[in-house]
Amino acid sequence: MGAFSASVVEAEPLVGGSAPMASVSGRNICVLVHGMGGDANDWEVWVELLTSRFPSWVVWPLKTLANGCRFMGLGLDALEKLAAEEIVEAIRSIGQSEHVTLHCIGHSMGGLIVRGALAHVLDTLAPRDLQLGHYLSLSSPHLGIQASWAAPLQLWRNLCVLSRPISSQLAQLAIQDTAGPEQPYLV
């Protein structure tokens, strides 16, 4: 396998005769967002699966997040903006004249990133040109993360007070990123 680029794939009926969600006319794009410590290559099997199942779809694993998604990397707010920029670029690259249906799959922290990025994407693109399709979140901590003090290898999750000056990432993931009346990032 190795490095790959976006793939174009064609939709076909699902098992049982039901049709997949597709735009009435236009293109489907499926963005894949990896989690902490991942990169676009983590999606190789998914790209193969989706391209064989939906041959007309553009399958686009996000590439710009790898450096920021490392442990103690960029905060979720910064990562969602990077993701939104790449998603908008991907949508525009398949043709401005076509209506696009956007499908999203995010793994772990990637599910949180794409959830936040969607608002930026919708603010950037005209609603008449974009329809939201599927959103699939795989093992994403939408309610935050915490660890039991009885699990010593997971204690890093409870050290947000110490890590906050270095990176907002852990504090945002643990829903400990506010000290005042404002709401945490995940809420």
- Adjacent-strand bridge partners of 29: 58, 102
Instruction: Indicate the average pLDDT of the chain.
Output: 81
With a CB cutoff of 8 Å and minimum separation 6, the contacts of 95 are 27
Please provide the DSSP assignment of 16-64 as one string. Answer: TSPPPP--SSSEEEEEEE--TT--GGGGHHHHHHHHHH-EEEEEEE--T
**Range scoring the smallest mean pLDDT among 21-25, 64-68, 163-167:** 21-25
CB count within 10 Å of CB 165 equals 7
**Range scoring the smallest mean pLDDT among 80-89, 105-114, 153-162, 175-184:** 153-162
Helix %, strand %, coil % of the chain (to 5): 35, 20, 45
Tell the residue number behind the tokens 């174009």, with chain if given. Answer: 8
Return the closest-CA partner of residue 7 out of 39, 43, 65, 47.
47
Q: State the average pLDDT over residues 15-34.
A: 63
Split at pLDDT 50, 70, 90, the class of 19 is very low
pTM of the model: 0.78
Q: What is the pLDDT of residues 57-115, one digit of tens each?
A: 999 999 999 888 888 889 999 999 999 999 999 998 887 666 899 999 999 999 999 99
Tell me the three state secondary structure of residue 184.
coil
Most confident residue range from 2-6, 71-75, 182-186:
71-75
Tell me the three state secondary structure of residue 100.
strand
